[in-house]
Copies of this chain bind each other. A is one copy, B any other.
Amino acid sequence: MSTRLSQLFVRTLREDPVDAEVASHRLLVRAGYIRRQAPGVFAWLPLGLKVRRKIEAIIRDELEAFGAQEVLFPGLLPREPYEVTNRWTEYGDGIFRLKDRKGADYLLAPTHEEVFTLLVKDLYSSYKDLPLSLYQIQDKYRDEARPRAGLLRGREFTMKDSYSFDYTDAGLDASYQQHRDAYERIFTRLGLDYVIVKADAGAMGGSRSEEFLHPTPVGEDTFVRSAGGYAANVEAFTTAVPEPRSFDGLTPAEVLDTPDTPTIAALVDVANGKHPRPDGRAWTAADTLKNIVLALTALDGTRELVVVGIPGDRDIDLKRAEVAFAPADVEAANEGDFAKHPGLVKGYIGPWSPSGAVLGAAQTGEPARSTTGIRFLLDPRVSEGTGWITGANVHGQHVFGLVAGRDFHSDGIIEVGSVVAGDPAPDGSGPVELARGMEIGHVFQLGRKYADALGLKVLDENGKLVTVTMGSYGIGVTRILAVIAESNNDGKGLIWPKNVAPFDVHVAVAGKDVAVMAIGETIVDSLEESGFDVLFDDRPKVSPGVKFGDAELLGVPLIVIVGRDAAEGTVELWNRRTGDRTSVAMIELGAALAAQP
């Protein structure tokens, strides 16, 4: 049975919704696929639901193919399991919490590791039951601070989340690979280009972690890749660490006057003007060590300062810093922080001063604290034996030739520096380039974290209790729909890939001629009989212009226009993806449609 546009619950809109910043949001609302209910919360109209079901069917198909089994958890979950793993607290403001009439605490689950772990613990007890892969397609909730971009960052969204259970590391590797392979097949069937990038384990706490990113200039994630095959999320990129250098032949550090140099640019100018390098090469920002004071707020509210030392030609990447310091919140130190630490001379901060160590361990091997007691972390490029121009903690003075490992020491290494094109990939596969993408999937080895916390153990072949090792694998179903829309549209409307289009063919009758309408009916019947799912624009009083505009907006990739030539047995076939519009004899229409790219 075909769907008639005159009956379909849809209303196309000429105007963009005022809050829509991205194409998918604009077009999905204008074409009547979704409708906003609250910030980041949408209702699904018939067209949207149809596309969504097709995406879900492809996901199910590929997961079932390797033996994953579907279950379904509630969205409303009790606090207790999340308390055990500390995520009740760690999620901070990011989740919705509520109480029932008896005052018991619940949350709207943002992800389900805990209850999957408990379910398997509840039912299984032997290695013979493993490996096991379970999944669900289910609504998730996150109380995003700034819900935006329509379905791309909502507060209620639908995910496919899978979890694998094994009792050996090799088993986990195999389950991980099964999911990874299935994801490749899923995205291929969905018509979505993807890059698999190394990802940071982040708050989930585990080992191997990769993201599937759809490369697009409007992507919200930045990733790097090298010609030699390295690919990583910027947050997961690691710097190639230089070998330590000998201190032999290095001159002693020297404090020099550098008036009015609170910025790196000013410092470089003054250094070149007043204190040129003995060998004549100009000083550059890369010769300076910039010391940035950050304030970390832990989950319990404790505020701690930390200083990061980084070459002056680089910035701190705040997203990388958020990951590195998670779950603490990171921000720049404020005046109040500086007031409490008069040892830090703003604009002239450095690890060393004429009166001794200001930051970091005082001496290697003896981590006696410095005069400020503030934790001091270094970019990996500030490696042993490298010399720097850096603040002398005296207003208007810097120290030149301060050597890492000889004159100052850190409390550790940290990866928070910005990544720039040309940086070497850590695996030696050459310089990286930066690109943007949208996350469409995530595969992740949780390891034994959740099983340990919640006591999921099985008896192994020798009758010994062993802790289960788990993987977690996610695809944002509603997010993917938006990503597909984002990458499959033109100025006029959506252009769905065949596998997820709400209909195979959109038949529009142009004109008000009753005879032509009757021919349209015949064509629709015949296409339906041939197995095409048809959307039939049968509206008798709507102009051809409006019909074509709606057809473009709605995005069915193949459009058949039944117009003046219909009486002569000819219709027009319009391929929205290629833009080709060709006359086709009605008798050949089915074959012509099937042959379209």
Residues of A within 8 A of B (CB): 7-11, 32, 35, 37-38, 41-46, 49, 67, 69-78, 93, 96-98, 100-101, 106, 108, 115, 119, 122-124, 132, 134, 139, 141, 143, 145, 155-156
Contacts and interface: CB of A to CB of B under 8 A. Distances in A.
B97 A101 contact: no
B71 A156 contact: no
A141 B43 contact: no
Contacts of A77: 37-38, 41
Contact of A49 (B45, B71, B78): B71
A132 B9 contact: yes
Nearest to A79: B38
Nearest to A12: B123
25 contacts: A7-B67, A8-B69, A9-B71, A9-B123, A11-B124, A35-B123, A38-B76, A38-B78, A41-B74, A43-B72, A43-B73, A43-B115, A44-B72, A49-B72, A74-B156, A76-B96, A76-B108, A76-B155, A96-B106, A97-B98, A98-B108, A100-B143, A100-B155, A101-B145, A139-B139
A115 B75 contact: no
A482 to B, nearest CB: 15
Q: Sort A-B residue pairs by CB-CB distance and give the 6 closest, nearest first.
A: A98-B98, A44-B72, A11-B123, A38-B78, A93-B101, A43-B73
Nearest to A6: B128
Contact of A35 (B67, B93, B97, B122): B122
Given A35-B122, A106-B38, A119-B35, A141 B69 contact: no
A10 B134 CA distance: 12
Contacts of A7: 67
B8 A76 contact: no
A338 to B, nearest CB: 30
Contacts of A11: 123-124
B75 A75 contact: yes
Which of A11, A32, A42, A98 has the largest count of B CB atoms less than 10 A from its CB?
Answer: A98
Contacts of A143: 100-101
Contacts of A42: 74
A71 B98 contact: no
A9 B78 contact: no
Nearest to A36: B122
Given A9-B69, A101-B143, A106-B38, A156 B75 contact: yes
A124 B7 CA distance: 12
A37 B70 CA distance: 17
Contacts of A67: 7
B43 A74 contact: yes
Nearest to A10: B123
Contacts of A37: 73-74, 77-78, 115
Contacts of A32: 123
Contacts of A139: 74-75, 139
A381 B10 CA distance: 54
Contact of A96 (B35, B78, B100, B119): B100
A76 B69 CA distance: 28
A42 to B, nearest CB: 7
Nearest to A541: B128
A187 B384 CA distance: 78
A37 B112 CA distance: 12
Contacts of A38: 74, 76-78, 106
Contacts of A35: 119, 122-123
B70 A46 contact: yes
Most chain B CB within a 10 A radius of its CB, from A76, A96, A119, A145: A76
A434 B13 CA distance: 55
B132 A76 contact: no
A43 to B, nearest CB: 5
A119 B43 contact: yes
Given A11-B124, A115-B37, A141 B72 contact: no
A42 B115 CA distance: 11
Nearest to A52: B72
A50 to B, nearest CB: 9
Contacts of A71: 9, 43-46, 49
Contacts of A134: 9
Contacts of A122: 35
A125 to B, nearest CB: 9
Nearest to A7: B67
Contacts of A45: 71
A423 B11 CA distance: 53
Nearest to A95: B101
Contacts of A8: 69
Nearest to A107: B98
Contacts of A74: 37-38, 41-43, 139, 156
Given A38-B106, A98-B97, A49 B75 contact: no
Nearest to A32: B123
A124 B12 CA distance: 11
A339 to B, nearest CB: 30
A359 B97 CA distance: 50
Nearest to A139: B75
A155 B145 CA distance: 28
Contacts of A41: 74, 76-78
Given A37-B77, A139-B139, 7 more contacts: A9-B71, A38-B78, A49-B70, A76-B155, A98-B98, A98-B108, A101-B145
